[in-house]
Structures are given as C-alpha cells and as structure tokens.
Structure 1
Amino acid sequence: MTQEKFGEKDFQAIIGNLLRYGVWTSLSVAFIGGIVYLLNHSQEVENYSVFKENDRNIFEVISAVYNGAIQGRGESIIFSGIILLFLTPVFRVLLSLFSFILEKDYLYVVITTIVIGIIIMSISFGFSH
C-alpha cells in the first residue's frame, strides 16, 4: 500500500467522523436547548396564527443567537444546534477541498471551489432582502 492511498483513506475516515459527530453534536445541542426552553416556558401558549418575519441580516442573526446562547436562552441554544447541523456538510466540503489539494486532483479542486462559491452566494442572497 502506498503512502498516498493511506492518506486518502485517512481523509475519508476523518470526513465520515466529521459528518457523524457533527450530526450527533448538533442534535445534542438542540435537545439540551429544548429542555432549557421547556423548563423556562412550559406554561406559555404560542400564537401560531400570526407569522413574524425576521428581516435581519445573517450577522445580526448569528450575533443574537450567540448572545442568547451565552445567556442560556433555550430558543438560542436550539438555533445553535440547527446552525451546527447546517455547518456540518459545509465543513465536509471544505475538508474535501483540502483533500483534493493534497492529492493534486485539480479538476475536483475546481468543482469543490465552485460548490463552496454557490454555498456562500446562497447564504449571502438568502439572508439579504
């Protein structure tokens, strides 16, 4: 077995573990946030007849979630878990990019860079109104 193939298998194992542990971590964070939320708001009745749209940009949302999670607010902890869940495949694509660079597989470097660009554009345009 050559050293290159061994490194490739190591990267595949790391990527697999990233996906596995990323999902479990995000679910655990969201579950803990759900418990915190229920402990603090179990008697409240939510009004679902009115939809409240949020027109903040992504940086304001992340800042509000971060500050709320630091303060121990359940809804912010749940949202942190959701953000972690969304970031897990993004980290997988970034790790794949580094793997392709090390393997000198430039076609896949270009394709992965395009995918990363699409993700960045989707996030940017998805949160701007």
Structure 2
Amino acid sequence: MDESKVKNSPAAEPGTSRIAAVELAVSKMLRIGIYLAAAVIIVGLLWLLITGEGGYPEDTYPTSFMGIVNGVGDWKPVAVIEAGLLLLILTPVLRVVVSLFVFLREKDYRFVAITALVLLILIISFALGKAG
C-alpha cells in the first residue's frame, strides 16, 4: 500500500478517528433503537393476533405516556404496539440528545446551539401535538 495515500487520506487527520468513532456509535444506537422498536411492535402484533383482542374496549386506547406504560405492565397488545411506536419516535430524539453532549464535550459551541435549538423545536412540537 502506498504510504502517501494513507498520509493524505481524511482518516489520517488528527481527531478524525474520534469523530468517526462517535458517528459509528450514533449510527449503531440508531440501528439498535429501530431494531428494538420493530421487535416490540412485532411482539405486540403477534400477541394481538394470538388473543384476538387489543386489551381495551373498542375505540379506547391509551393516549398518554403513563397509559402506555400501564398497558404494557398489564400486557395489553395495543399498548405494547404503541410502546414500540414510541420507541421508534424517540430513537432519533435520543440521537439529538447524544449529539448535544458530544458537541459540548468537543467544545463546539456553534453546534451545541444548533443542536439545542433542534431539541427545543422537537420538545415544542411534541407539546403542541399533545395539546391539539
């Protein structure tokens, strides 16, 4: 292998391997979150198909976080499916939170501000979505 190509490659720059490691960890976290959410949804769907009922009277499903948690504790299929969907929604939000801490650690305050703004927008959108 030609050493000049290795020295001039972007991976040879100082700090690049740390950035690549963070990006790899974040992508792994996203993948695990999606797989976990899919597994929870599939378990809920299978349980729904096995029992033939959602665990709630018709048209009354949990709409709050605690309602979903209580439903999962009672092993209600619809609540398990909703928990999987909640995991799917929260996975990219967790990525934003992790990015915020990574940028803080790197002392990259411009990206801290941008990421904090994105997180604030997500929180406001969740609050407005709940109010509507």
TM over 0.5: yes
User: In which range does the TM-score fall when normalised by the shorter chain?
Assistant: 0.7 to 0.9
Q: How does 1:114-129 map to 2 (within 5 A)?
A: 114-129=117-132
SS of the residue corresponding to residue 29 of structure 1 reads helix
Unaligned runs of 5+ in 1: none
Moved runs in structure 1, 4+ residues, more than 4 A?
Answer: none
Matched, 1:69 2:80: no
Identity %: 29
> Which structure carries more relative contact order (alpha carbon 8 Å, separation 6+)?
1
Please state how far the C-alpha of 1:53 moved relative to its aligned partner. 8.8
Residue pair 1:8, 1:99 contacting (<8 A) in 2 also:
no
Number of residue-to-residue matches in the alignment: 117
Structure 1 partner of 2:24: 13
Unaligned runs of 5+ in 2: 1-11
Take 1:125 and 1:95, find their aligned partners in 2: how far apart are those partners?
A: 24
Please state how far the C-alpha of 1:13 moved relative to its aligned partner. 1.0
Q: TM-score, normalised by structure 2?
A: 0.79
RMSD: 2.2
Matched, 1:25 2:28: no
Please state how far the C-alpha of 1:2 moved relative to its aligned partner. 7.0
